[in-house]
Chain A
Amino acid sequence: MKNDIRKIMIIDDNEDIVTMTKAMLEMRGYEVSVKMNIVDLENAITQVSPDLIIMDMLLAGADGREICSNLKKDSRFTSIPVLMISAHPNAEDECLQAGANTFLGKPFEMQDFFNAVEKSSLVKKGN
């Protein structure tokens, strides 16, 4: 399964979270690229061409759900699975509605995080 997802793009404005999740994913052998703002996001995604996007629901100056929704509408990105993370556990429904493939509430267990990443790959496979 691990083989299905190689490149993961993390979109989050919180440096600590980014660093921590990047370390976890790299520990597992994923190739991680980070985007800490949404400036020129589409180009960045196009450039990286990730197998999975991990995104916080609340970004500085932007709503993760809106970004997700836009990506999913864009034929270039619609096939890329999105794992959305939030400190608001009740946000799950809204995130899934916005097109996120998987949702994980903060704080999370490391194992749960890995499970969520792998679960997202199954989604991609189904697509």
Chain B
Amino acid sequence: MANLVGDEVKNGEDAINETELFRFMADHAGDPFILMREDGSFAYLNNKALEKWGYTREEAQFLKVPDVDAIYNSEKYRELFHLCRQSSIPPFKTFHKNKTGHIYPVEVTLSGLRAGGESFIFAITRDVTTRKKNEPDIINALRKIEESEKRFLNTVQQAPLGIAIFSGNEFIVTQANNAYLLIIDRSADEFIGHPIFDVIPEVKEIVEPIFKEILRTGIPFYGNEFAVPLKRSEKTEKAYFNFVYHPLKDEDGKISGIMVVAMEVTNTVISKHLLEESEKHFRNMIMQSPIPMTILRGNEYIIESANKAMFENVWRKSEEDVIGKSILEVFPELKEQKYPELLKTVFTSGETHSEKESIAYVEGNDGMKRFYLDFEYAPLFEPDGKVSGIMITVTDVTDKVEARKKLEDAEERLLLATDGTGISTWELDLLTERFVHSPGLAVIFGHPPSRTITHEQLRSQVHPEDIHDIVEKAFEQGIKTDLYKYEARVKKSDNTICWIRKQGKVFFDDDGKPLKIIGTLRDITEEKQLQQILQESESKFRLLADSLPQQIWTADTQGNLFYFNQNVYDYSGLTPDQLEKGGWIKMIHPDDRDDNIKAWTESVKTGKDFLYEHRFLRYDGEYRWQLSRAVPQKDAEGNIQMWVGSSTDIQEIKEQEQQKDYFISMASHELKTPLTSIKGYVQMLQMMHEKSEDSFLRNTLNTMDRQIKTLTKLIAELLDVSKIKSGGLNFHKEHVEITALINEIVAEVKHINPNFEFIVRANEKVMVNLDRDRIGQVLINFLTNAVKYSPDSKTVEIRSSVKDDNVIVEVRDFGIGIGKKNQEKVFERFYRVEGRDERIFPGFGIGLFIASEIIRRHDGKIHLESEVGKGSVFSFKIPIQS
């Protein structure tokens, strides 16, 4: 405590230093000026006061009011002090006592004052001895002095401060109070009357030089948290003290001893050290914290410290640019924001301020940046309760907020989008019937978008017929399955009817009780109308399909039949179920079935039209011939969507055809006999007139013979056709060397067409299993066609090659060629190329039909490549081992 006196006097001086003038005036004032603290010590005494009391300035540091005032003991002084703070006190009288014990009356003018957060009493006293002499008060005063001295001694003895007096150069202990003895852990007998350093030698090293210095200079020594080793309870430990070593002077003014007033502060110091440690730790923690923090000091908001997170993430400035400067100076942009105002409020009110997601613009070295910050301004208090600074903690939530804002934007966009697409959203609380919806829903019901529709209103607009049958059933179903869905008619506000589709999900509580439904609602009027049109169009199509005499069917892209018109059911006598489950396959005649499936699979795979003649079983057990045709339905991109097929009953046509074929067979057979006879006579005549001079006769007979040959060939072909139709074309396969056969046939054709050049490119000698006559027939047909359709060119090329166990024979001409659209037809029955002049190109054209049949029966393929005006290449390919 003693040291505090010293310090505070000094501080008082410092304070006054600022106003030198007043200090000078006060120092030299004619009356004592006294500044007192609450504890009765003196913060300031002017020269006159010291002079009156007879103390030096140093001595005065230990004085208290009761030391110089005979009336105001510490208790009375305390009352006075408090009175002074509350109200002004009129001048009053008291008795002062000087150092020598002289008591004199004084008149006191005083007033309370506050400075630097502390309360004082300022007093001016005037010696009124001359005026007050012999006043009876003196007796009282004297009495009080005695009491006071007694009390002083008592107080010293009992004081919590250690007080001791050491005399002479040996520093013999002359007095020590209980507190002091406790401090040094020695008994009075051990201590008093002995040289101090004999009793407590552990302090000698540190204390003796100080004592000696005091003896030499007379200057007191103040120790503050001064560490000395002390052996207490048999243990030497470091103890801390606040103390004053004060020189004692004898009557001559010579320093004869030292008074020690000491207070042990070991615990305080230790705890302070601990506190410092923890503060250091705390500070370290703050500095390392990922949460940006800073401490501002004073009302200029000087940045005292800030952590790394603050520097790097928020300020983006280096330490030297910031520390020790006002935050508003470093970040002038803050001045235009709300923050200076907030800082001021916190500073003056002492109340913490915090905010969430506050926008802040902070200019760092990398430019201005916008933040969303959660922040707190916490005032920092001095021990006296004054705000001296603000600690700012900041959480950068920019990313979070921006993400949320994006989400909110997205939600809003979704809302707009859904409303834009005619899908409105709604939520129904099943407990309160509260119905919330997007604006689009009101529009669907024929109201302005701003209108809010209640659930009751919504129900009232639903078509009465649909309420019970559809809406309520859908609700019951929704509660069961958690999926709420229906389509119903709605009467709009303008009385027009529209269709809506409402669907939602039912949410339940933990007990399975339905709580709410959230869902969407859409105007599907247009959809419904289209659906109706579609249905009408479909029923029209069905009606049309059913009224056709053909059997109509459709198949999916995999070739599975899924629709049949009424005719199919009527014809087959099968049920839809039977037909769809593959029953249609059983309708087909067993002999046609395998080839039919093969052909259909091929069409489905390649997307080529399906065309097939087969027999279907009728309900009455009769098989009837059908011509089935199916074409793929393609979308805009050309992808097959489905197949539409029809089957036409060709039984009668077939029968007629068979009759025709029979007729052809009979007719051609009948023709043969007369032809044989004519031919015989002509050839006899030729022989007889071989050497005749009559050239007309010879030529006529030659022409007759040639025409008879042509006629013979035509008849043979007609018969072949009828045989093909009746399945009666027989083959006699044998191993034939193909090149030899080609050369043989070419020679034969060349004999008849000597003016044509036949170029044979066939080098490989390959034995092929074939019907010599029939393949010869094919070659003759190719060659005679080449000749027939080459009115200008006189060259025909024949080429044979082997590829993948097949032999390929090509016949190329350079004639009129065949157009694309006709190329597929040339292998059909009774087709003939449409020529420039049909008279030049005679023939039934059944030769190619027969040829294709012959090649087919050799498990081969016949092929044509042709270009109009350039010529044609007819070729066939047959397996070597067919």
Interface residues of A (CB under 8 A from B): 14, 16-17, 19-21, 23-24, 27, 87-90, 106-111, 113
By a CB distance below 8 angstroms, the chain A residues around B708 are: 107
Whether a CB of chain A sits under 8 angstroms from the CB of B496 is no
Whether a CB of chain A sits under 8 angstroms from the CB of B447 is no
Whether a CB of chain A sits under 8 angstroms from the CB of B23 is no
Q: Which of B672, B728, B730 contacts A107, CB < 8 Å?
A: B672
Closest residue to A110 on the B side, CB-wise?
A: B683
Whether a CB of chain A sits under 8 angstroms from the CB of B676 is yes
Contact between A88 and B680, CB atoms less than 8 A apart: no
Whether a CB of chain A sits under 8 angstroms from the CB of B675 is yes
Q: Which of B669, B676, B681 contacts A88, CB < 8 Å?
A: B669
Given A90-B728, A107-B672, A107-B712, decide whether A27 and B684 contact each other with a Cβ distance below 8 A: yes
By a CB distance below 8 angstroms, the chain B residues around A27 are: 684, 687
Contact between B684 and A17, CB atoms less than 8 A apart: no
Closest residue to B723 on the A side, CB-wise?
A: A90
By a CB distance below 8 angstroms, the chain A residues around B233 are: none
Q: Which of B672, B681, B687 contacts A20, CB < 8 Å?
A: B681
By a CB distance below 8 angstroms, the chain B residues around A110 are: 679-680, 683-684, 687
Whether a CB of chain A sits under 8 angstroms from the CB of B673 is yes
Given A87-B672, A90-B730, decide whether A16 and B683 contact each other with a Cβ distance below 8 A: no
Contact between A16 and B684, CB atoms less than 8 A apart: no
List 18 extra interface pairs beyond A14-B673, A106-B672, A113-B680, CB under 8 A: A14-B677, A17-B676, A17-B677, A19-B677, A20-B681, A20-B684, A23-B681, A23-B684, A24-B680, A27-B684, A27-B687, A87-B673, A90-B730, A106-B676, A107-B680, A108-B676, A110-B683, A110-B687
Closest residue to A105 on the B side, CB-wise?
A: B672
Given A14-B673, A107-B675, A107-B708, decide whether A24 and B728 contact each other with a Cβ distance below 8 A: no
Binary CB contact string for chain B from 393 to 435 against chain A (1 if under 8 A, 0 otherwise): 0000000000000000000000000000000000000000000
Q: Which of B674, B676, B679, B684 has the largest number of chain A CB atoms within 10 A? A: B676
16 A-B contacts (beta carbon < 8 Å): A14-B673, A14-B677, A19-B677, A20-B677, A20-B680, A20-B681, A21-B680, A23-B684, A27-B687, A87-B669, A107-B679, A107-B680, A108-B679, A109-B679, A110-B679, A111-B683
Binding site secondary structure of chain B: helix
Interface residues of B (CB under 8 A from A): 669, 672-677, 679-681, 683-684, 687, 708, 712, 716, 723, 728, 730
A110 to B672, CA, bound (A): 15
A23 to B685, CA, bound (A): 11
A23 to B680, CA, bound (A): 9
A107 to B687, CA, bound (A): 18
Smallest Cβ distance from B874 to chain A, in angstroms?
A: 26
A35 to B676, CA, bound (A): 19
By a CB distance below 8 angstroms, the chain B residues around A113 are: 680
Smallest Cβ distance from A57 to chain B, in angstroms?
A: 11
Q: Which of B673, B684, B723, B730 contacts A106, CB < 8 Å?
A: B673
A108 to B681, CA, bound (A): 11
Closest residue to A27 on the B side, CB-wise?
A: B684
A83 to B396, CA, bound (A): 119
Closest residue to B675 on the A side, CB-wise?
A: A107
5 closest Cβ pairs, A-B complex: A110-B683, A87-B672, A107-B676, A20-B680, A106-B676
Closest residue to A93 on the B side, CB-wise?
A: B730
Number of A-B pairs, beta carbon distance below 8 Å: 55
By a CB distance below 8 angstroms, the chain A residues around B669 are: 87-88
Closest residue to A17 on the B side, CB-wise?
A: B677
Smallest Cβ distance from B672 to chain A, in angstroms?
A: 4
Smallest Cβ distance from B502 to chain A, in angstroms?
A: 79
A38 to B60, CA, bound (A): 184
Smallest Cβ distance from B787 to chain A, in angstroms?
A: 22
A95 to B319, CA, bound (A): 125
By a CB distance below 8 angstroms, the chain A residues around B728 are: 90
Closest residue to B705 on the A side, CB-wise?
A: A109
A88 to B720, CA, bound (A): 11
A109 to B712, CA, bound (A): 11
Smallest Cβ distance from B729 to chain A, in angstroms?
A: 9
By a CB distance below 8 angstroms, the chain B residues around A19 are: 677
By a CB distance below 8 angstroms, the chain A residues around B676 are: 17, 20, 87, 106-108
A110 to B723, CA, bound (A): 27
By a CB distance below 8 angstroms, the chain A residues around B684 are: 20, 23-24, 27, 110
A78 to B723, CA, bound (A): 34
By a CB distance below 8 angstroms, the chain B residues around A111 are: 683
Q: Which of A16, A88, A89, A109 contacts B677, CB < 8 Å?
A: A16
A87 to B679, CA, bound (A): 14
Q: Which of B675, B677, B730 has the largest number of chain A CB atoms within 10 A? A: B677
A56 to B517, CA, bound (A): 99
A14 to B669, CA, bound (A): 14
Smallest Cβ distance from B747 to chain A, in angstroms?
A: 17
By a CB distance below 8 angstroms, the chain A residues around B674 are: 16
Smallest Cβ distance from B315 to chain A, in angstroms?
A: 111
Given A90-B728, A107-B712, decide whether A17 and B683 contact each other with a Cβ distance below 8 A: no
A106 to B675, CA, bound (A): 8
A109 to B678, CA, bound (A): 11
A107 to B682, CA, bound (A): 12
Smallest Cβ distance from B825 to chain A, in angstroms?
A: 29
A89 to B680, CA, bound (A): 18
By a CB distance below 8 angstroms, the chain B residues around A21 are: 680
A23 to B730, CA, bound (A): 34
By a CB distance below 8 angstroms, the chain A residues around B672 are: 87, 106-107
A96 to B730, CA, bound (A): 16
By a CB distance below 8 angstroms, the chain B residues around A109 are: 679, 683
Smallest Cβ distance from A90 to chain B, in angstroms?
A: 6
Q: Which of B672, B673, B723, B730 has the largest number of chain A CB atoms within 10 A? A: B673
A19 to B679, CA, bound (A): 13
By a CB distance below 8 angstroms, the chain A residues around B687 are: 27, 110
Closest residue to B730 on the A side, CB-wise?
A: A90
A111 to B680, CA, bound (A): 10
Smallest Cβ distance from A111 to chain B, in angstroms?
A: 8
Smallest Cβ distance from A15 to chain B, in angstroms?
A: 9
By a CB distance below 8 angstroms, the chain B residues around A87 are: 669, 672-673, 676
By a CB distance below 8 angstroms, the chain B residues around A23 are: 680-681, 684
Closest residue to B683 on the A side, CB-wise?
A: A110
Smallest Cβ distance from B683 to chain A, in angstroms?
A: 4
A108 to B712, CA, bound (A): 9
A73 to B614, CA, bound (A): 46
By a CB distance below 8 angstroms, the chain A residues around B679 are: 107-110
Smallest Cβ distance from B674 to chain A, in angstroms?
A: 7
Closest residue to B711 on the A side, CB-wise?
A: A107
By a CB distance below 8 angstroms, the chain A residues around B712 are: 107
A26 to B668, CA, bound (A): 29
By a CB distance below 8 angstroms, the chain A residues around B675 are: 106-107
By a CB distance below 8 angstroms, the chain A residues around B723 are: 90
A24 to B723, CA, bound (A): 32
Closest residue to B674 on the A side, CB-wise?
A: A16
A17 to B723, CA, bound (A): 26
A110 to B690, CA, bound (A): 14
A19 to B674, CA, bound (A): 12
A111 to B682, CA, bound (A): 12
A109 to B723, CA, bound (A): 24
By a CB distance below 8 angstroms, the chain A residues around B683 are: 109-111
Closest residue to A21 on the B side, CB-wise?
A: B680
A109 to B680, CA, bound (A): 7
A89 to B730, CA, bound (A): 11
Closest residue to B680 on the A side, CB-wise?
A: A20
